[in-house]
Amino acid sequence: MRLVVAEDNALLRDGLIRLLKANDCTVVAAVDNAPELTAALAGTEADGAVLDVRMPPTFTDEGLKAAIAVRAQRPGFPVMVLSQYVEQLYARELLASGQGAVGYLLKDRVANVGEFVEGVRRVVGGGTVIDLEVIATIMARHRQEPIDRLSAREREVLALMAEGRSNQAIAAALFVSEKAVAKHTNSIFTKLDLPVAEDDNRRVRAVLAFLRV
Amino acid sequence: MKKPGPLRLTGIALLHVLLFLPSILFLVLTVAGGVLTVLTIGIPLLLVSLPTLHWITDRHREMAAEILGSPVPANRLPTTGAPLIQRLQIWARDPMTWRELAWVLVSPISFVLSLLTVVLLLVVVTGAFWWYGAPHIMRARATIDRILLSQGHTEKLEKRVVDLTESRAASVDHSAAELRRIERDLHDGAQARLVALGMSLGMAEDLFARDPEAALQLVTEARDTTGAALGDLRDVVRGIHPPVLADRGLIGAVQALALDMAVPVMVTADLPGRPPAPVESATYFAIAECLANIGKHAAADHAWITLGWTHGVLAAEVGDDGRGGADVDRGTGMRGVMRRLGAFDGTMRVSSPDLGPTIITLEVPCVLSLPRTMPSSGTA
C-alpha cells in the first residue's frame, strides 16, 4: 500500500510512519499541514491517505475538510481520518458522499497496531471503519427508523460491521459461527431494502444506513 | 409597538383628567396619615392611601409607556411577605414613594395638558389643532410622567452596581468550583492511570529478561491503561472547552450535541456571525445541560433547539414534548448554568407545566463578529 500521511505533531507522525512501514506499507509523502497535503495528494500516486483532523494553519478541522475536498475531486479515494476526539457529526460528513473507503478513528486506536493496520487495509480496499465511540452513541438511540426493524443480534452485527470488521472477526467477537454471521448480514441487507450487489458495496450501504447519512 | 392615534390619545387624556382629583385626594390623605402616625390612627390611613396611590401611578405608568412606546417600570422595593407595619417602613425608605408624591404635586401642570387635548376635540372648531396637536401634547405629558415616575439615573446605576457585584461574586465562585472539579478529575483520572502505567512498565522492565511471557502481559496492560487515560483526558477537555465548539462554533457544536441524543432533536439556527468565545461557551454548556435533563427526566419523543440573534441578544430555545414539571431549583446543574449566564447579563426562563411541553429560553446580550455562518436546519 502506498500512503500519504498528514499529522502535525512530529512525534506522532514519525510513530505512524514507523508503524506503517513495519507493516508493509509505503509512505510516499508525510506532511504536517493541510496545504501541503493537497499538493502531496495531487503530486503522488497514492492508494490512500492517513490524516489528522486538527492541523495548521487554523488548528480546527482542516484534516476533515481536506479529506472531503479530495474525495469530491477523486470520488472514493480512501481516507483514514484520525482524531483526539470523535463526533458523530464528522462521521456523517465524511460519509455524506455515499461512498465507502472511509475510516474515522480515535488516535488511541493506533496503539492496537494490528487492528489499526487492518483497518487501513479495509479502507484502502473500499470498506468503512468507524470508531467504537461513534457506534456506541448511535446504538443508544431509540428512534423510528429502518434500523429499528433489525433484531438486537442484527444490530450488534451491524455495529461490528460499521467498525470495519470482517464476518470472521464478527463471528469471533460474538462467539458464533461464520455461517450464522452470514445469515445475519443477509437478513440485515433484506430488512434495510439494500439492492442486490456485491457484498462489499452492500456492507458500506448498510453502514451508511446505520449512520443515517 | 404601534403608536396610538389621536382618538386613543384623547381617551387616555380623559382618563388622566378623571384620575386627577382622586390622586390629589389620596396625596392629601397620605400627608395627613404621615402626620398622624404619631397618634397611631395615621397607620391604617396610610395602609389604604399608599396602595391606592401606587395603583393610580401604575395606571399612569402604563399610559405613559403606551404613548412613548417604551416601558416605564415602577422598580419599587419589594414588600411581598412583609408584615403590614414593616411595609410602611419599606415604603418610607423607598425613593419611589417620594417620587410618586412629588409627581402628584406637579400633576396640575400635566392635568392642564390632558385637559387641553380633551377640550380641543370637544370644541369642534379646533378639530384641526386637535388632530395635529394631540400627539405632541400627550407626548409632553407622558414624558413628564416618565421623568417623575421612573428611577433616576443614579438609582439605576446603584441598582446596576448591586447586580454586577452579585453576578461577579457568583462567577468567581463558579470558576473556582470549576477549577476544583478539573483538578479532582485529573487527579483521580488521568494522573492515577499514568502512575499505574509507570508501575506496569517498570515491572515489565524487571521481568523482561527472566519471564518474557509475564512482561508481555504487563505491556499489554500498560497499553490498555494509556487508552483509559486518554479517555479520561478527553472527558476533562470536553468539560473545559469542547473541541467541536472550537472547530465549528456554536451552531456546529449544538448540532453535534443534538446528534448524540437518544431522541431526535430538530435544530434550527441562524446567526449572522460568531458570539464572543466566553458567551459561546456559556450558551453551549447551558444547552448541553438542558439536553442532558431532557435525556434524564423528560421521557420525550422529540426535542427542538432554535438559535438566533436579534437586536443585540443571542437567544436559544430548548424544548421537548416530554412530561413537563421541570423544577429549576431541584438540580444543581441548572443553577450553575444560570450563574454562568449571569456573568454576561444572560437570563434563563423555564416554562414547564405538568404533562409538558417544557420550553427553556436562554438570552444573552452580546455583539456578534463576522464572518457570517450559513443558516441551517435539520433533524438529527
DSSP, collapsed to helix, strand or coil, labels residue B52 as: helix
pLDDT given at position A143: 66
Distance of CA A150 to the CA centre of its chain: 23
**A72 interfaces chain B, CB cutoff of 8 Å:** no
Q: With CA atoms as reference, report the closest residue to B255 among A192, A202, A166, A88.
A: A88
pLDDT given at position B332: 75
**B59 interfaces chain A, CB cutoff of 8 Å:** no
Q: What is the pLDDT along chain B (380 residues), one digit of tens a residue?
A: 467 888 888 889 899 999 999 999 999 999 888 888 878 888 888 888 999 999 999 999 999 988 888 888 888 888 877 888 888 888 888 888 888 999 999 888 889 999 888 888 888 788 888 888 888 888 899 999 888 888 878 888 888 899 889 888 888 888 888 899 899 889 888 898 999 899 899 999 999 889 999 999 999 999 989 989 999 999 899 888 899 999 999 999 999 999 989 888 999 999 999 999 999 999 999 999 999 999 888 888 899 999 999 989 999 999 999 888 887 777 777 888 888 888 899 999 888 888 879 999 999 999 998 764 444 445 54
Q: Dihedral of CA A35/A38/A40/A42: which sign?
A: negative
Instruction: Cell numbers for B58, please give them.
Output: 401604575
Question: Looking at this protein, which amino acid is placed at residue B206?
Answer: D
Torsion of CA B101, B103, B109, B110, to 10 degrees: -130
**B231 interfaces chain A, CB cutoff of 8 Å:** yes
**CA–CA dist B305, B317 (Å, integer):** 6
Q: With CA atoms as reference, report the closest residue to A70 among A107, A92, A110, A101.
A: A101
Judging contacts by C-beta atoms under 8 Å, the chain A residues touching residue B378 are none
> Which residue in B has a C-alpha nearest to residue A58's C-alpha?
B247
Residue from B197, B247, B265 to probe the interface with A (highest A Cβ count within 10 Å): B247
**CA–CA dist B212, B199 (Å, integer):** 17
> What are φ and ψ of residue B253, in 5° steps?
-65, -40
Q: Say if residues A52 and A61 touch (Cβ distance below 8 Å).
A: no
CB atoms within 10 A of CB A8: 17
**CA–CA dist A205, A100 (Å, integer):** 8
**A88 interfaces chain B, CB cutoff of 8 Å:** yes
Residue from B201, B238, B254, B259 to probe the interface with A (highest A Cβ count within 10 Å): B259
Q: Say if residues B287 and B302 touch (Cβ distance below 8 Å).
A: no
Q: Say if residues A208 and A98 touch (Cβ distance below 8 Å).
A: yes
Domains of chain B: 6-151 (no CATH), 159-240 (1.20.5), 243-365 (3.30.565.10)
> Which residue in B has a C-alpha nearest to residue A93's C-alpha?
B256
Closest approach of chain A CAs to the CA of B192, in angstroms? 18
What interface predicted TM-score (ipTM) does this complex get?
0.83
**Exposure class string for B288-313: b at 16+ Cβ within 10 A, else e:** bbbbebbbebbebebbbbbbebeeee
